[in-house]
Amino acid sequence: MPEQPLTIHIGEKRAVSALLTAPAQPVACYVFAHGAGAGMTHAFMTSVAQGLAERGIATLRFQFPSMEAGVRRPDPPVIAQASVRAAVAEAARRLPALPLIAGGKSFGGRMTSQAQAAEPLPGVRGLVFVGFPLHPPGKPSDERARHLDDVRIPMLFLQGTRDALAEAPLVTAVAKRLGKLTTLKLFADADHSFHVPARATRDDAAVLAELLDTIRDWVARVV
């Protein structure tokens, strides 16, 4: 599926690269933010964008300013959240007739949810988290999910049961606390990157296909 390069302006002083991947007749657009350690062109990000396009969902991927500048340290929340808002606005401008979904991989998903909790993202119908980073490795906590109580739109959590950044019992408890707006899908044996070990009953490709099908079906219900 062709990818259209874009430039997104964040205020007057910053601009970042973006990629729009859209099938012929999309049913929605997912504004898909990358994680802290890899940018929008990472193989996993590309696979998700291409796989969703095959399932009728457009994606707008974008770089956070730090990644655009080649700095691996994530941006402060205020800058990251401004980037999310600018990307959502660009998606609405490019595809004005489509419902919008927002979220992202790990850090990108958390920055999107923080932006939504602070002030609703215009036109966004729901949030999709591809591995929500609930806590640092080895330090289980649900503090990073407290702001989700202020999100008033549907949320989909896609989480591996071996995710070191979101222990399954904790993320299950968070989803239960958040109630009917929340859908949690657990992927047995998958880690934070949705990789499964050789001993697993299925491979990474099968996990990815199920992840993409889950997003497609959830989006169909939400929009």
Question: In a 10 Å sphere around its CB, with 0-12 CB exposed, 13-18 middle and 19+ buried, how is residue 205 labelled?
Answer: exposed
Q: Which pLDDT score, from 0 to 100, does residue 72 have?
A: 80
Across the beta sheet with 57-62, the strand order is 3-10, 14-21, 57-62, 28-33, 100-105, 124-130, 155-160, 182-187
Q: Which pLDDT score, from 0 to 100, does residue 61 have?
A: 98
Q: Report pTM.
A: 0.96
Dihedral of CA atoms 81, 217, 164, 116 in degrees, nearest 10, equals 20
Q: Which residue has the tokens 């889950």?
A: 214
Strand partners of residue 128: 103, 156
Q: Which residue type sits at 185? A: K
Quick one: tokens of 212? 């993409």
Q: Is CATH 3.40.50.12160 the classification given to domain 3-222?
A: no
Distance, in Å, from the CA atom of 148 to the CA atom of 218, rounded to the nearest integer, reads 19
What does the buried/exposed string (b/e) look like for 29-61 if buried means 16 or more CB atoms within 10 Å of the residue's CB?
bbbbbbbbebbbebebbbbbbebbbebebbbbb
Residue 168: other Cβ atoms inside 10 A: 15
3-state secondary structure of 38: coil
Residue spans per domain, the chain:
3-222
3-state secondary structure of 136: coil
Quick one: tokens of 170? 């904790």
Q: Which pLDDT score, from 0 to 100, does residue 1 have?
A: 79
Report in angstroms the alpha-carbon separations of 27 from 97, 99, 103, 218. Answer: 9, 7, 17, 12
With a cut of 70, list the residues of the chain below it in pLDDT: none
3-state secondary structure of 143: helix
Q: Which pLDDT score, from 0 to 100, does residue 35 have?
A: 95
Q: Which residue has the tokens 């991927």?
A: 61
